[in-house]
Chains A and B, each alone.
Chain A
């Protein structure tokens, strides 16, 4: 029963993965529309280049068309656009599924290659540095504060934090980022406090590793503060609600009647049943943090995966878009499956019934 359940789950998740990636391929290429855009761009570049070539004007128009068409065909073949899109879409799907991410059309990495995997790997550490650190930060902070709120629901601490949570939950991090840049980076400048308002390192970057690390941390301060500030509230509120539900159980009341200390009750009886949903949420947001954040990175000019995503979209570079989506899809699907596996090990109910 259990293996059958897991097997079924794995099959369905793989199907979902394939379907999502195919959709991503089609959407990233705008159903083949991007082909036409790139085609006309190549045509335009060729024309302007050839028109500048000495002797071009002396050729007859037939000769001009002939050369133009030859070059166009070569350029289109070089970009691999000579076969119909439907056919190529399945080749792309296969490549994506085997994690052969191919070459970008326009974007190059800082090291100078067009390999999508290199471009992604170059930026991944920066995104992890900022967003994964931030996500760990706000999860832990939210967890601690949420547990404290849940102890005395309706108390002053609970009410103030809930208010804070409701407010910050409605406002996205990038918006706070913008406000904080206005408030801190600019307004404190005349007072002699200089907080950088964008970028990851100073220009030019410091040469020795220690100063480089310090410089990066200095640039990270505002974005990471923003990320934690805007997200820990709602996280605390969720934890509080989960702990409150658990605290209402009879065995907690019994433990209280026994005279156990509050810390013991929290650790033994409240935290344990609330942990599974919390672990799920944390692991999903950790995975999501690998994607970076398009707008927050744009606001802070952080050179991570989010701004790569935006640049790829802006310059209509489907291989990079698909590459980013595929990496995320794989991570997400594997995480979901692992979570399923862990819970089915931990929770006997899941082994027996597969539905609710």
Chain B
């Protein structure tokens, strides 16, 4: 059996084969995304990912923006009417001692579908008595819906118009006053923006009333210095490049951030296990005797003990972060299949003349092992690393699916398992599960293609004649 011609030959083989080129190209893209992720993402993803207030203003379950052009429907993005866009009138009536603040903003809604949610943020500054806040929405057909009329107790009031029971009651009143039967569940985000007809309260049959809307917030407070600002958010159905999940998180951030994590995790585990295993295999063959026997037996023990259950057990008992997990994986796979391969390759190398020459001029055993034998094993080590990376990337995903991954770091596996347990499949939130699945598959395949090209070099008998 001829031996492959070192590392140079490996690279040449990868670049000259079609599968190798495809693999390298895809891998370069994934690495590019990783570099981009580290450089571009402007905030600390790991600490923000699980912070719900950070994502509060995003829509929930929004599809990627480009679905709008694919389905050829003008789906609503998120409209954020910031406090600067509200015109503000305020005056103080000394006689009654009341301060009136009126905030008004207009927005045009001309999309083919309803928003996913409506929310309003009122930030009021008041000193003693809590102010009264009245919110109304004026529709293009000049009807008015009173959304909220009550005393607020917090300086920062976040009104979830779509789920707040008080607001829902008000919307029901609005529907009843318009002469519509509204006995079922009330969907404010639909009824408020629907054409006025008998289907107005039915989420499946209502049609969008396009045009210019006006949102108005009035506050009546008790001191001249009291004032208020408002922000109105019409949560859309599409968001960003990759959509959002159940916690309104921008999946693009998570997916991009997942690339360096997956590469680092897969590569570090694959590199360490391959090098350790092949070193032990070489040691076993080169020293022979009791060393060989010991390594062989321990390898068998490792092959009998179930790897995954023990890994799962350890991650259940101890609180484990992603990098500790790599260490445990390495410890649980010190010996394995590579030990056996590298042992048999070392036997072949040992028979060659230059080793004999090295022995005859008195080179030490250790020197021969590291200087003359290990370099010959390098192609096998590289091929093994490349083939092992996908397995480790998927291992992390598997642990996430079992609910055992690192909960803090957004990884592709974590996103997939969130999507799976969050009912993405049942409700048809395809982007949530398919995009991370696609990314993990592309990464795995890029390594598999390179590995295939390498396999032909390392095992020359596989070359087609």
Contacts and interface: CB of A to CB of B under 8 A. Distances in A.
Contacts, number: 125
B-side interface mostly: helix
B91 interface: no
Given A241-B461, A299-B401, 15 more contacts: A16-B297, A30-B313, A162-B452, A166-B19, A170-B391, A178-B416, A178-B433, A186-B425, A241-B459, A245-B461, A294-B308, A294-B312, A309-B306, A310-B309, A332-B303
Interface string B371-414: 00000000000000000001100100110011000000000000
Interface stretch (A212-220, A266-274, A313-321): A313-321
Contact of B441 (A27, A33, A171, A316): A171
Contact of A321 (B300, B309, B347, B461): B309
B44 interface: no
Most buried by B among A23, A295, A321: A295
Task: Give the bracket for the number of chain B residues in contact with chain A.
Answer: 35 or more
B318 to A, nearest CB: 8
10 contacts: A12-B297, A16-B300, A170-B447, A172-B391, A178-B416, A241-B462, A295-B401, A313-B316, A329-B304, A332-B303
Contact of A20 (B19, B305, B434, B445): B305
Interface in A288-335: 291, 294-295, 298-299, 309-310, 313-314, 316, 321, 324-325, 328-329, 332-333
Contacts of B449: 166
Contact of B402 (A37, A298, A324, A332): A298
A17 interface: yes
B444 interface: yes
Nearest to A18: B301
Given A167-B448, A294-B312, A313-B312, A154 B437 contact: no
Given A16-B297, A27-B310, A186-B425, A332 B344 contact: no
A175 B437 contact: yes
B464 A153 contact: yes
Contacts of A171: 390, 394, 441, 444-445
Contacts of A99: none
Interface in B428-453: 428, 430, 433-434, 437, 440-441, 444-445, 447-449, 451-452
Interface in B55-112: none
B354 interface: no
Contact of B398 (A24, A33, A174): A174
B151 to A, nearest CB: 43
A244 interface: yes
Contact of B301 (A16, A37, A166, A245): A16
Q: Which of B308, B434, B445 has the most CB of A within 10 A?
A: B308
A325 B305 CA distance: 7
Interface residues of A, number: 54
B426 interface: yes
Contacts of B464: 153-154, 158
Interface of B: 19, 297, 300-301, 303-306, 308-310, 312-314, 316-317, 344, 347, 390-391, 394, 397-398, 401-402, 416, 420, 425-426, 428, 430, 433-434, 437, 440-441, 444-445, 447-449, 451-452, 459, 461-462, 464-465
B313 to A, nearest CB: 5
Contacts of B347: 356
A356 B344 contact: yes
Nearest to A170: B448
A242 to B, nearest CB: 10
Given A12-B297, A245-B461, A325-B306, A181 B425 contact: yes
A93 interface: no
A51 interface: no
A188 interface: no
Given A171-B394, A186-B426, A310-B402, A316 B316 contact: yes
